[in-house]
Copies of this chain bind each other. A is one copy, B any other.
Amino acid sequence: MCRWLAYYGSPVVMHWLLYGQQNSLVVQSLHSRMGAEETNGDGFGVGWYGEGDTPAVFHSIEPAWNDRNLQELAWHIRSPIVFAHIRASTGSPVQQTNCHPFRHGRWLWMHNGLIKDFLTVKRDLVLAVDPELYPEIEGTTDTELLFHLALTFGLEDDPPGAVARALGLVEKVGHDHDVEFPFQGTIATTDGERVWGFRYSSEGKSRTLFFSTSVVTLRALYPDVELLQDVSEEARLVVSEPLGDELPGAWNEVPESSYGVVQPGQDELHPFAPIAP
């Protein structure tokens, strides 16, 4: 029900990420290999850091595969952090305010999956959002609401803790309404300095999530692949599904119920569990 990609590293032209691979995100918009839905044509969004204090976001309700403005931006924007998302709506309207990534200050947030029986639990979850943050919600997705729950629970200070408390509340409210498996999905968030990626589902059968092998290792494996020379040693991709299969060893699955941090220096991978309210 969506596919996404997060890039962290030396600045790259977005085209390389979005179009330049065998199974790049724009290819996935027409035919994803591992998605719950094959077609992700209900709009898309990209976020990046460059001019200005906050990241830029671009949202469109068109399918990504034939969108000319996305082609233009992809060729002409270079950034050290790129979030990109293609959407397969699970019912909420196709409109820009429902496109990921969502932004708050310097933070971006995107998600693949769903809060189960969302219309049933929505009101209870909305009531838990900090009333100061509530008016910021402009769309009708579960993802945007989850973002504001995470912000309410301290995302800006402790991302893993805030996400754990937000999902803990989602599970509590879901169970209160007899929803067996209230959450499913993968989440990416960033403050422009680090990128966090989460994989979790109440059911223990989460949507796929992968991260790229370290550039140093890949260069040793594939000394002739030029693009591996072009990016920095710390460059890393976190993706819903691999962008291709030409380089065996390039992609690693994020384990069930875990999260990773991509950051200057050593990246991290930890177990993840919701924290009940």
A217 to B157: give the CA distance in the assembly, Å: 51
Interface residue A60 (Cβ < 8 Å from any Cβ of B): yes
Among A63, A92, A95, A126, chain B packs the most CB atoms within 10 A around the CB of A95
Option from B58, B66, B76, B135 in Cβ contact (under 8 Å) with A72 = B58
| Residues of A32-71 contacting chain B, CB below 8 A | 38-39, 41-42, 48, 50-52, 56-63, 65-66, 68-69
Contact B93 A76 (CB under 8 A): no
Contact A59 B69 (CB under 8 A): yes
Known A-B contacts A57-B72, A123-B134; A66 and B42 likewise in contact (beta carbons under 8 Å): yes
Known A-B contacts A41-B39, A97-B95, A123-B131; A76 and B60 likewise in contact (beta carbons under 8 Å): no
Interface residue A214 (Cβ < 8 Å from any Cβ of B): no
Option from B41, B57, B96 in Cβ contact (under 8 Å) with A93 = B96
Contact B66 A59 (CB under 8 A): no
Residues from chain B with a CB closer than 8 A to the CB of A222 are none
Residues from chain B with a CB closer than 8 A to the CB of A96 are 68-69, 93, 95
Interface residue A122 (Cβ < 8 Å from any Cβ of B): yes
A131 to B61: give the CA distance in the assembly, Å: 30
- Chain B's nearest CB lies how many Å from the CB of A135? 4
